Structure 1
């Protein structure tokens, strides 16, 4: 597959690993990473999100984990070929196992969200076969630093369920971004940020396209430091 070129780094891709997509780009561009010193990404895939966050925060260190060996190898290649490679580490790891002791200022994930089904496409990345919302949230809650943030992008339909599980684990919703695929359509995705600190909810809307195949000014502004847009 052709590599996906960004302004400061390049993503090598594979048919065996979930490719660069809008969800990952949005999460990488929208996450509150400014004050983080150490970041954990759960399910790195190609390494896209960690690379975007490393570009946005030049002081943070990153650990990426994935249960898919092919993804780990691909992420390692993309990390090593980037200008941020000294701050990026990636390992083969099952997040459900209790082998991570460090606390993180930011835990970020574009998690699997489809129930197990007959589709054979990107099973580990798309279906909750190896990691479900309950496992993701309960383990993350134990790995967050005192002021740490858990940030995810999920389908709008899963929002109430995800937020409910977070509350059961004493994680409070601090930020919610309603993502519309196209202007005047229904909400497609939610970018959610949780912490152990209960405070007022910051909520906003984000539109990807103002018309079919035409990015909104909001999207162009958000991603201008990453995407190489054709004139």
Structure 2
């Protein structure tokens, strides 16, 4: 399978690991990584999100975990081949049994969100077989620093349930970005960010395409240091 090339790094891909996709790129450009020193990515896949955040924040250190051994090997290779390799580490680990003394300033995840089904395609990455939203939230609440942030991207229809569950673990919604595929369409994804501090929620819309196959100006602006665009301006 061909690697996915960005301006400053490339992602080796595999048919056995969830490929580079729009959701991962969106979390990589939108997650609040500015003030983070220690970052945890839950479910690294190819390592895409951590690599994007490492490029955005040159001072942060990143730790990734994934239950899929193939994904761990792929992430390790992608981390080692990047300019940020000294700040990136990942291990083969189930979140449900993960223990560390480190408290993370930012936890990011593009978690599985489909209910378990008979399909075997990207089963661990896409279906809630090994990790559901409650398990993700509970673990994140115990791993976050007092000023930490949990940042996720999930389907729009799952938003209210995720927010309600987070509240049970004293995680308050602080930021909500409504992702629309094309200008004028319904919200299809949400980037949600939580912290232990209750505050006024910052809500905004983000449109990927202004017209079919034409990226919006905000998308082009936020991804200009990552994507190698052709004939987009």
Shorter-chain TM-score category? Answer: over 0.9
User: Are residues 1:152 and 2:159 paired?
Assistant: no
Of 98-107 and 162-171, more deviation after overlay is shown by 98-107
Gaps of 5+ in 1: none
> Offset of 1:210 from its aligned partner?
1.2
Show the counterpart of 2:54. 54
Of 98-107 and 52-61, more deviation after overlay is shown by 98-107
Q: Deviations over 1:27-49 (max 9, x none)?
A: 00001101000000000000000
Normalized against structure 1, the TM-score is what?
0.99
- CA distance in 1 between partners of 2:213 and 2:114 (Å): 26
> Offset of 1:120 from its aligned partner?
1.2
Show the counterpart of 1:176. 176
> Offset of 1:100 from its aligned partner?
2.4
Show the counterpart of 1:164. 164
Show the counterpart of 1:128. 128
- CA distance in 2 between partners of 1:222 and 1:156 (Å): 22
- CA distance in 1 between partners of 2:43 and 2:145 (Å): 20
> Offset of 1:101 from its aligned partner?
2.7
> Offset of 1:113 from its aligned partner?
0.3
Give the alignment of 1:9-88 within 5 angstroms: 9-88=9-88
- CA distance in 2 between partners of 1:213 and 1:115 (Å): 30
Of 48-57 and 93-102, more deviation after overlay is shown by 93-102
Show the counterpart of 1:8. 8
Gaps of 5+ in 2: none
> Offset of 1:98 from its aligned partner?
4.2
Show the counterpart of 2:117. 117
- CA distance in 2 between partners of 1:197 and 1:35 (Å): 16
- CA distance in 2 between partners of 1:191 and 1:67 (Å): 23
SS in 1 for 2:36: coil
- CA distance in 2 between partners of 1:204 and 1:31 (Å): 13
> Offset of 1:218 from its aligned partner?
1.4
How many equivalent pairs are there?
231
> Offset of 1:99 from its aligned partner?
1.9
- CA distance in 1 between partners of 2:211 and 2:61 (Å): 38
Q: Deviations over 1:120-148 (max 9, x none)?
A: 11000000000000000011001110100
Q: Deviations over 1:66-85 (max 9, x none)?
A: 00000000000000000000
> Offset of 1:211 from its aligned partner?
1.4
Show the counterpart of 2:219. 219
